[in-house]
């Protein structure tokens, strides 16, 4: 993980822990918002055509969206039930096992493909657009046992964000199910994070191509881009939780205002394109609002100081 990114995550985690117990009302609203975003983005990565607003209507009002398939509706409701299971497992003391993965997958595919929900595949599959070839079906039970043993051995030893990212990749690489592997792996990733006291990380639909790219790099043994990618999602969630939980007794200082990178480029001797590269690699603290990267004057100053210190 990039050292600047890691330091920011550790600092924000420390600040969030110091605020605990978090304000119940603010925490409830933020959890509702992030759950909707989590479900929408995870399903959209896999091809769902539901919008964020439509996802919210299905979850909160039980509305059926005209022109959308029954499967897409089930994907939303199922994902919410899977998240509830993840939340319960996050506070349990028992280690994460292959059985828990199958439990989560059962909920992901409920009423969509009940015959295969929670069942390991027994046939060979190929991942469209990926060079990686998943192992044959007969190897999966042993590989999943090895995966769970590895995860249990690394908990408390490996840095939690890196562990979550690698656990996610190893599970996707095994590809234990006919369908629903990506959703299940992202749920497991967040289970690992939440057990370590982090908020869930949301892989955004707009970053789908970069997500696939860093997974492909991890297939070839280069895992740092994936860890940085997940770390940036973790940092975003930490920022949102801090903003929602910190008492607002006065307007925030100007140096903490989020500004588009095009405006930020006017303050520093770097182009907007270079700032975008720094944001994408985690070297500069930044947030995406829609498709536009934003940063703060304080973050710009911190990056410049880090350069001068090297």
The predicted pLDDT at position 87 comes to 95
Maximum Cα–Cα distance across the chain: 61
The contacts of residue 34 (CB under 8 Å, 6+ apart) are 199, 200, 202, 237, 240
For the chain, helix (H) and strand (E) counts, in that order, are 13, 3
The predicted pLDDT at position 253 comes to 82
The predicted pLDDT at position 309 comes to 61
Can you read off the two tokens belonging to residue 62?
A: 């039980």
The predicted pLDDT at position 305 comes to 86
The predicted pLDDT at position 310 comes to 57
The contacts of residue 179 (CB under 8 Å, 6+ apart) are 109, 112, 113, 116
The predicted pLDDT at position 290 comes to 75
Phi/psi of residue 13, each to 5°?
A: -60, -40
What H or E segment, with its residue span, contains residue 295?
strand 292-295
The predicted pLDDT at position 254 comes to 85
The predicted pLDDT at position 175 comes to 95
User: What is the DSSP track for 226-279?
Assistant: HHHHHHHHHHHHHHHHHHHHS--SSPPPGGG--EEHHHHTTTSSS-HHHHHHHH
Q: Is 65 helix (H, G, I), strand (E, B) or coil?
A: coil
Q: Is 105 annotated in the active site?
A: no
Instruction: Identify the active-site residue in 79, 100, 168, 175.
Output: 175
The answer to whether 189 and 168 have CB atoms below 8 angstroms apart is yes
- The structure's pTM equals 0.88
Distance in angstroms (rounded) separating the CA atoms of residues 181 and 25: 34
pLDDT in tens, the chain (310 residues): 778 888 999 999 999 888 888 778 878 888 898 999 999 999 999 999 999 999 999 999 888 999 999 999 999 999 999 999 999 999 998 999 999 999 999 999 999 999 999 999 999 887 776 777 889 999 999 999 999 999 999 998 899 999 999 999 999 999 999 999 999 999 999 999 999 999 999 999 988 999 999 999 999 999 999 999 999 999 999 998 888 887 777 777 888 888 999 999 999 889 999 999 998 888 898 888 877 899 999 899 988 888 876 5
Phi/psi of residue 31, each to 5°?
A: -60, -40
Distance in angstroms (rounded) separating the CA atoms of residues 252 and 248: 8
The predicted pLDDT at position 289 comes to 80
Give the residue among 211, 216, 221 at the shortest CA–CA distance from 127. 216
91: alpha, beta or left? (left if phi > 0; alpha if psi -120 to 50): alpha
């Amino acid at each position: 993980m990039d050292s600047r990114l890691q330091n920011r995550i550790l600092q924000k985690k420390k600040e969030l822990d110091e605020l605990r117990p978090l304000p119940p009302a603010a925490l409830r609203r933020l959890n509702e918002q992030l759950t909707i975003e989590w479900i929408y983005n995870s399903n959209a990565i896999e091809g769902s055509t539901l919008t964020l607003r439509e996802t919210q209507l299905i979850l909160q009002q039980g509305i059926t969206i005209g022109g959308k398939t029954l499967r897409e509706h089930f994907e939303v409701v199922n994902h919410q039930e899977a998240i509830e299971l993840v939340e319960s497992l996050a506070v349990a003391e028992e280690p994460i096992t292959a059985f828990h993965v199958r439990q989560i997958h059962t909920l992901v595919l409920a009423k969509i493909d009940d015959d295969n929900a929670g069942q390991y595949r027994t046939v060979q599959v190929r991942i469209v657009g990926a060079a990686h070839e998943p192992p044959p079906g007969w190897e999966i039970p042993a590989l999943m046992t090895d995966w769970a043993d590895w995860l249990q051995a690394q908990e408390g030893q490996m840095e939690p964000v890196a562990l979550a990212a690698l656990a996610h990749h190893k599970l996707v690489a095994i590809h234990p199910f006919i369908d629903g592997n990506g959703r299940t792996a992202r749920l497991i990733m967040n289970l690992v994070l939440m057990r370590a006291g982090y908020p869930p990380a949301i892989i955004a639909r707009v970053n789908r191509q970069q997500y696939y790219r860093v997974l492909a790099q991890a297939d070839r043994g280069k895992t740092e881009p994936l860890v940085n990618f997940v770390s940036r999602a973790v940092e975003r969630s930490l920022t949102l939780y801090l903003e929602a939980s910190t008492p607002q007794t006065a307007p925030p200082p100007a140096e903490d205002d989020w500004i588009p990178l095009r405006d930020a480029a006017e303050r520093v001797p770097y182009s907007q394109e270079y700032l975008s590269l720094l944001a994408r690699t985690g070297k500069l603290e930044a947030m995406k609002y829609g498709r536009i990267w934003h940063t703060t004057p304080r973050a710009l100053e911190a990056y410049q100081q880090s350069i001068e210190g090297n």
